[in-house]
Amino acid sequence: MNYQRRSSAVFAAMTAACAVVLVSVMIGPASRAAADNHQIIRVQPVLPGAVAVDRRIEAAQPVVRPPESAAAAAMIDRGALSQVLTSSSAVSRYKLNAAAIASRRLWAIDDGEAREVDAANVADRARAGDVFVERTEVPLMKMAVPAALRDNTISTKASYKLNYLITVPNSASGALELDAWALDGTGLGVDARENAYVGEFYVALANKVNEADDSRLPKAVTVAVTARGATTIDPRPVMISELLKWHTVRIGVPDVSTDTYAVSVSPAPGKEGAEIALPVSHPTIKLSADRSSMLGWGIDITTINVEATGLRHAEGLSVTLSTTQGKLDDSQVVLGADGKGRVRLRSGGSGGATISVSSANVRSSPLVVRFEPPWIFLACAALGGVVGAFARRGGRRAPVSAIIWGIVSAIVMTILYYVGIDWVSGWFPDSDFADSGEAAIFGLGFLGSFAGFSILKPGDSGGES
């Protein structure tokens, strides 16, 4: 009885094991086939000339990331890659990157327009002699230019190797592989003649394999330049038909508030380009006064000097000034060819004034001019008035009234002269009268008191004989 039970248990276990094996045999091939149909292959990005790049890196910090994610571009469907590799001999003849075609990073330039290259049209584009442009997955970096491209006559602070590989069909060698280079050039600075920030930068092409090659290209390469807010980009586009020759691009921008200005350069017109940073030089305005201290209450005047540096052409540039106290002759100072200008400041009240440059995008420090209470001025004028009053014949008969009259008339006449009513030259046209100093103030007070207010009318004798 026990033997019969053990036989039944063994038989049941064997039956279950056979069922499991049978199911796995039936399902396994179908699962593997489905996985094969959706298999994804990761293609490592090709970095042409990586060894040469490493030798010339000066500052290997990325400046601009590639327009597409490197990880996304490296995920290529096996079927698409296989189709490109087998579709045309143009891929191998012109050394085109099949992975770039499959990931849509390769364009053919036709009549100045970038057209996407795929497995179906790559052969036609090659037969038409189009220039091919591949956007590589190497970030744009600041790098030293090849020795053959160095030009000591060009002023520049940074050089860039653009993240593009250009292929130009060539009947002799099949294709020329070219690198694109850019220099930040002069940067941008204010030009008063154009009322804008202007500057220059440079672009050039070099043979990737033979850096000393300075030949003419069988077909010109179009380089598109774009810049946000620019009113001048000349030339546009840049047509390059010679290797190792720097081409000047002139930029004009009405207003720049930052210290750098981004310019996009692309050998694939219409596609997002590599951005290079042009340095921006903002003008510096220095303010100075002939006198840092002057009489207050509107009595005194001093000259404010304006001097600009950091300009390409200063003549005609208008600088806007403002003051917290007193009054400027003109709030707009137009600079001359030497970058200098002048304006007069009349005092107001006491304490002082702060003069500032109100023009936008200008580096400047405010200027402080002190206004001193004119006590000494009034005392000198009053003393001159007293003397003038007693010099009059009637002053000696009524000394008290003469003193009061003399002080009042002296102060009034002296202040009138200082605020701009020049009654002195009417009476003394040939004299070179001093307009500052205690002696001058005393003299004005004396004349004002002795002659009285009638001196304001030239030709009148003024006062008593």
Domains, the chain, in order of start with CATH, read 50-281 (no CATH), 284-372 (2.60.40.10), 375-456 (no CATH)
Contact (CB, 8 A) for 303 and 321? no
pLDDT at 423: 59
pLDDT in tens, 39-69: 333 333 333 333 333 333 333 333 333 344 4
**Model confidence over 283-334: pLDDT tens digits?**
999 999 999 998 887 888 899 999 999 888 888 888 999 999 999 999 999 9
* pLDDT value at residue 261: 96
Return the pLDDT at 381.
78
DSSP single-letter state for residue 173: T
Report the C-alpha gap between 148 and 154 in whole angstroms. Answer: 14
Q: What is the DSSP string of 62-75?
A: EEE--SS-HHHHTE
**Cis preceding linkage at 458, omega within 30:** no
- Out of 47-61, 89-103, 199-213, 242-256, least confident range: 47-61
Q: Comparing 256 with 459, which gets the higher pLDDT?
A: 256
Q: How many residues does the chain have?
A: 465
Torsion angle in degrees (nearest 10) through CA of 19, 20, 22, 26 = 140
pTM over 0.75: no
Q: Which of 57-66, 136-145, 337-346 has the highest mean pLDDT?
A: 337-346
Q: Give the amino acid at 223.
A: V
Segments in 57-121 forming alpha helices (H): 70-73, 78-87, 90-93, 98-102
> 381-393 pLDDT, tens per residue?
777 777 777 776 5
Token digits of residue 459: 């030709």
* pLDDT on residue 357: 94
pLDDT attached to residue 161:
94
Q: Which of 90-104, 138-152, 196-210 has the highest mean pLDDT?
A: 196-210
Ranges 201-205, 400-404, 414-418, most confident: 201-205
396 and 403 Cβ atoms separated by less than 8 Å: no
Query: What is d(CA 50, CA 161) in angstroms, rounded to the nearest whole number?
Result: 13
Q: Which residue has 């990157």 as its token pair? A: 97
**Above 80 in pLDDT, residue 277?**
yes
**What strands, in cross-sheet order, belong to the sheet with 332-334?**
293-295, 367-372, 351-357, 318-323, 332-334
Nearest 10 degrees: CA dihedral of 109, 211, 56, 42? 50
Closest CA to 124 of 136, 110, 104, 111: 110
Ordered DSSP codes for 265-304? EESSTTS--EEEEEEEE--EEEEEES-SEEETTTT-EEEE
Task: Name the percent of the chain lying above pLDDT 70.
Answer: 70
